[in-house]
A = this chain, B = another copy of it.
């Protein structure tokens, strides 16, 4: 009893067999049935693989279309082994996990721009956005573009701080950070950070290796005891790994009919569990499906 409670995707799968044929497809069913054309491969040149000393692996997709200089910096840092031997140093509950703050006094590797300009948004022109279709507290328009959650005012478009998004730690303005320190969101989307920090990507696999870490007890959730720091053994770009060793991921195309059906189904749940479908959804509750390449 009570094994269901509530379930974003999986219960719909469990229930599918028992559902009468007339039941609209669940989000999970829509994802499972989406044709190959609904998926795009994550470019191995934009895929980071981070190995943690506890044996966990975290895969991240970078978003050069939104923060090209910061993303180029991160790739240069990775190739210079900047992150290897660094550590997760901050875990603030319902907020962020942050890593690689150690070694701040090391000189930056060649090719890294020490002070990139503020890539907090980009021109709206040239980027097709699929509108979410529901209200947003923070922006006049929200939706998805090229598989990314975005907001826009019609003139500028920006990535949004949804769960698992990847950002660049920085000091006070006008420093924008250089990519040598990164964080990911592990709680309620801190959308007030949108356009205040350079977002550079998202975690596509293994976020549990970061979200389940002990919370730091120092100010802002920093670990006060260096023994709590979790060492990052290695970060690699997938394109630098032997082909046979590269993990391969896919992201659902946000312009695909399957994605539209997925969002609609998440906003209007017809699973047996739901007595009151919401009839709406907020941006960060419509995560773009990702998967291992079949």
Tell me, in angstroms, the Cα distance from A219 to B188 when the chains sit together: 23
- Interface status of A98 (Cβ within 8 A of chain B): yes
State which of B2, B164, B169, B281 has its C-beta within 8 Å of the C-beta of A169.
Answer: B2
Tell me, in angstroms, the Cα distance from A90 to B2 when the chains sit together: 12
State which of B5, B95, B138, B282 has its C-beta within 8 Å of the C-beta of A191.
Answer: B282
Q: Contacts A94-B163, A214-B212 known; A196 to B275 CB distance under 8 Å?
A: yes
- In the complex, the answer to whether B98 meets A196 with C-beta atoms within 8 Å is no
Q: Of A38-46, A171-179, A233-241, which stretch is located at the interface?
A: A171-179
Which residues of A, 151-191, contact B by the 8 Å Cβ criterion? Answer: 162-164, 167, 169-174, 177, 180-181, 183, 186-191
In whole Å, how far is A92's beta carbon from the nearest beta carbon of chain B?
8
Q: Contacts A4-B172, A273-B196 known; A136 to B138 CB distance under 8 Å?
A: no
In whole Å, how far is A250's beta carbon from the nearest beta carbon of chain B?
20
Q: Of A7-15, A62-70, A74-82, A122-130, which stretch is located at the interface?
A: A7-15
- In the complex, the answer to whether A5 meets B170 with C-beta atoms within 8 Å is yes
- In the complex, the answer to whether B275 meets A118 with C-beta atoms within 8 Å is yes
Contact partners of A261 in chain B: CB under 8 A:
none
Copies of this chain, count: 2
Tell me, in angstroms, the Cα distance from A58 to B276 when the chains sit together: 31
- In the complex formed, the residue of B with least CB distance to A15 is B172
Identify the interface centre among A167, A177, A275: most chain B CB within 10 Å of its CB. Answer: A275
- In the complex, the answer to whether B190 meets A285 with C-beta atoms within 8 Å is yes
Count, chain A residues at interface, CB 8 A: 79
Q: Contacts A93-B208, A169-B2 known; A278 to B162 CB distance under 8 Å?
A: no
A binding-site residues for B, Cβ under 8 Å: 1-8, 10-11, 14, 90-91, 93-96, 98, 101, 104, 118, 120, 134-138, 162-164, 167, 169-174, 177, 180-181, 183, 186-197, 207-208, 211-215, 219-220, 222, 266-267, 269, 272-278, 280-285
The 10 A-B pairs of least Cβ separation, nearest first, read A137-B282, A5-B169, A195-B276, A192-B278, A208-B215, A135-B135, A134-B137, A2-B169, A2-B181, A163-B188
15 A-B residue contacts at CB 8 Å? A5-B96, A5-B197, A6-B190, A94-B163, A120-B275, A136-B137, A137-B137, A137-B282, A137-B283, A163-B187, A187-B187, A190-B285, A196-B273, A196-B274, A211-B215
